[in-house]
Amino acid sequence: MLAPLISCKRSMMDIRLDGIGHSYDDFEVMRDISLDISSGQIVCIVGPSGCGKSTLLRFIGGLERPKLGRVLQLGEPPAGCLNPLTYIFQDFALLPWRSVSGNISLVLEDHGIKGAAADKIIEDVLARTKLSDFAKALPKQLSGGMKQRVAIARALAVKPAVMLMDEPLSALDSQTRELLMDDLVELWTRQPFTAVYVTHNLAEAVRLGHRVVVLSRRPGKIREVVDIDKPLAAREFGDADLEKTQKYLWQLMRDEARAADAELLHG
């Protein structure tokens, strides 16, 4: 009886990508991607457009199936975790007909969490995302940044083991993006979470990533993995060392990004 208790307490869930490859018909989009995502880390995936980074994220969360390779879940998700692999989408994906709190209760209802228990969770996640005053608002009343914070609150409500973030800030203007990056850093500092963060924005990658994975152009392969040791909370807008890393990442990608841009769209 002791063993499960201990594993519950120290539960860690890692994700391992094992030789992921994918193709549409004869068109190879991804080749042999192996990567470990260890818990408590934010792993950023960057790459030129069309390298399949969003597709990779859909593989990790089981929304799509790769032709080759496996996505493995190592260890057990923490106790109380309702949805181990939880997405945050670029376009927020809020139900426009539900209020802010309704959108959060949507993901709790299916787990049988209703009434006071749900209210408690909703109150907690809204407080953590600074949305407490907007519980009754409809999505149409919110700005883009607020909508994404609602989506983050919704993700927090199911206590995910790993957050899968698909260009979460790309639909926002640059000022809102800075603010939300600060919010994310604050969230992580208070309670470290695991995340896979897909972006094409290198500034986001160096601000939020403990590791930055650079993918190459089609077929997407891992080009390089860059670790950034500086603690998240110590990173700031325009840090010289981060700029250096960002420049380095851009050099890795530059030629491929140009080639990707010049390519005719497939299909």
Residues that bind other proteins (CB under 8 A): 61, 63, 82-83, 85-87, 89, 91, 93, 95-98, 106-107, 109-110, 138-140, 154, 158
- Helix 115-128 to helix 100-109 angle (10° resolution) is 130
If you search the block for the tokens 């953590």, which residue do you land on? 128
227 and 210 Cβ atoms separated by less than 8 Å: yes
Q: Which is nearer to other proteins, 96 or 238 (CB)?
A: 96
Q: Which is nearer to other proteins, 110 or 255 (CB)?
A: 110
We find the least distance from the C-beta atom of residue 207 to other proteins, in angstroms, to be 25
We find the least distance from the C-beta atom of residue 138 to other proteins, in angstroms, to be 5
Task: Give the DSSP H or E segment for 245.
Answer: helix 240-261
Q: Which is nearer to other proteins, 5 or 93 (CB)?
A: 93
Q: Which is nearer to other proteins, 54 or 216 (CB)?
A: 54
DSSP state of 263: S
For the chain, how long is the longest CA-to-CA vector? 61
Tokens in use for 52? 């399949």
Q: Which is nearer to other proteins, 42 or 158 (CB)?
A: 158
Instruction: Determine phi and psi for 206, rounding to 5 degrees.
Output: -80, -20
What length is written for the chain?
A: 267
Q: In what order do the strands lie in the sheet with 162-166?
A: 85-88, 162-166, 194-198, 42-46, 211-215, 222-227
Q: Distance (Å, rounded) from C-alpha 169 to C-alpha 42?
A: 15
We find the least distance from the C-beta atom of residue 50 to other proteins, in angstroms, to be 19
We find the least distance from the C-beta atom of residue 111 to other proteins, in angstroms, to be 8
Q: Distance (Å, rounded) from C-alpha 43 to C-alpha 119?
A: 32
We find the least distance from the C-beta atom of residue 57 to other proteins, in angstroms, to be 11
Q: Distance (Å, rounded) from C-alpha 85 to C-alpha 106?
A: 17
Angle (CA) 231-233-236 rounded to 5° is 100
DSSP state of 111: T
We find the least distance from the C-beta atom of residue 97 to other proteins, in angstroms, to be 4
We find the least distance from the C-beta atom of residue 107 to other proteins, in angstroms, to be 4
Q: Which is nearer to other proteins, 111 or 244 (CB)?
A: 111
Q: Which is nearer to other proteins, 154 or 200 (CB)?
A: 154
